[in-house]
Structure formats: C-alpha cells, structure tokens
Amino acid sequence: KNQVEQSPQSLIILEGKNCTLQCNYTVSPFSNLRWYKQDTGRGPVSLTIMTFSENTKSNGRYTATLDADTKQSSLHITASQLSDSASYICVVSARFSGGYNKLIFGAGTRLAVHP
C-alpha cells in the first residue's frame, strides 16, 4: 500500500534555530518527492521537488534530501523565522502511463516558531 509517514507530528522551535523534518515512504511507481508548506486554511505551496536521481535540493533556507535506497527524505530549515510556522507536508508522486501523477500525502509536521 502506498504510504508516506512523517515525523515528528509537531515541533516547537525558537526563532533563529534550525530544524529537520523527516519523511519515510513506500510508493510505487516512484516519480518524485515534494515538500509542501501549508498555512492554516490555505492550499499547499511547493517548496522543493526531487526526482529519483537527486540527493539534495535547496530553496532559500529550505534544504531537502532524498535517499531513494532507504526511501527517506528530510527537510532542513535554517535560521527559522516566525513566518515558517505552518504544516510541512511530504508528498510522494507516483507516475502512471498517460502522464498523470497521483500524489500521496503525508500527515504533515506542524511547526511552530516562537520568538
């Protein structure tokens, strides 16, 4: 069964600190792995997308890693800001014939950045 598991479920950090969020997945056929940021009551916004051959990808203060052998990914946030408070969702895409992608969502890590 296609599944995406994230840890921790929630996290509180102080402004300026770094943090790392974890994602494990069992999805087939694997196409790519994405990290989304979702503010409360809003749609998910893409942070990074990584394909099978990519080990790391950065987007500003966000750095994602992917180990396709162990089926694990992490999202590292550097020098956190109050605006980083949101849910961070790991999403794994399975690509089927015809070109469309089915996204399998993790439950997310709820990050709260405190001053």
Residue 32 to residues 3, 16, 54, 63, 81, Cα–Cα distance (Å): 14, 30, 9, 16, 28
- Residue 77 or 108 having the CB closest to another protein: 108
Distance (Å, whole) CA 5 – CA 1: 12
Shortest approach of another protein to residue 90 CB, angstroms? 10
Q: Is 99 in the site for another protein (CB under 8 A)?
A: yes
Q: Which of 49, 57, 68, 76 binds another protein (CB under 8 A)?
A: 49
> Binder to another protein among 63, 80, 93, 109 (CB under 8 A)?
93
According to the binding rule CB under 8 A, does residue 79 interact with another protein? no
The count of C-alpha atoms lying within 13 angstroms of the C-alpha of 17, restricted to the half-sphere facing its C-beta, is 13
